[in-house]
Structure 1
């Protein structure tokens, strides 16, 4: 009768490349949650993902590189309406993506990185460059730029401060209450803060 080890080995052989990468990414996110940035190692990721450490090194140089790759894969990216004809709806969808993300393991892993800025400043810089900025920057910024490019709002109004409004108010609500804002609060953020800031009419 085959042993447990042989069953495990068979399962590993049956995984395709995409399955392996997903397992490695998930392992890195979980390892950070349990061990922190300082405890993130190739050995831990390899064991948790059921992947040989040598296989990890063929694709990634460091465990931090795996983490950044995982965070990039799991970070949402806004999709504005093709014809730029629903600014309010697109802004709400972007904020809903943010709300879903802040409740995810990936968000908690990103927060763990940010909280260690004093020890891992280079990793924080890479988080912004290779994850946040690579996925469009602040939430709502992709939408605002899209509408500015189509002539529906003045590009001069899409400043860094305006781009911060939605994300900052959502995160403040989370910090103040310990829970994400509901749909009514998201609508208020869009209608009372973002739309007036870009000179768009409220419903």
Structure 2
């Protein structure tokens, strides 16, 4: 049954149902503002799946007694949306329009989002990183979130966000692996409804003598 389902999914060629390969997955997620493009329930499901993968589910190497409780967590921005308050003390980034736009974009990407079982109040959420890190540690024991605060005790930077995005994409690829060698293929609706017919055999067309023959 599993092989049949895998074959069915891999054979899909419609835009809304095809199975993306690892290259497209990485290309799509590496810079995607998933906080604004995914509905909250789907984003939460994605973060829950990554948490379970860290806990050893469903692969059998369990590092926690149970999977994460579904449907109760929220996505927290590590770099807060209001970063101008305490994350740019000299105002240098805010003064640079291009740098500010990059940061405003980056904060909604996958690597800056973490699952929280208890939402931080706005004051703590917008705190400078050392205070926010301590508040996060007090609020949750989730492995994916603790991994961030443990590895980054002093600062959380834009480069850290990009690096974590790559790590989370790797986890997603492990959770939902594609068949070996799978490359996605999309066929536009018009071509599916009206496939190109093979040319009918007929008499060989002879090139008509034109100006080229006059130069012989």
Specify if TM > 0.5. Answer: no
Mark the structure with the bigger radius of gyration: 2
User: Higher helix share goes to which structure?
Assistant: 1
Taking structure 1 as the reference length, the TM-score comes to 0.23
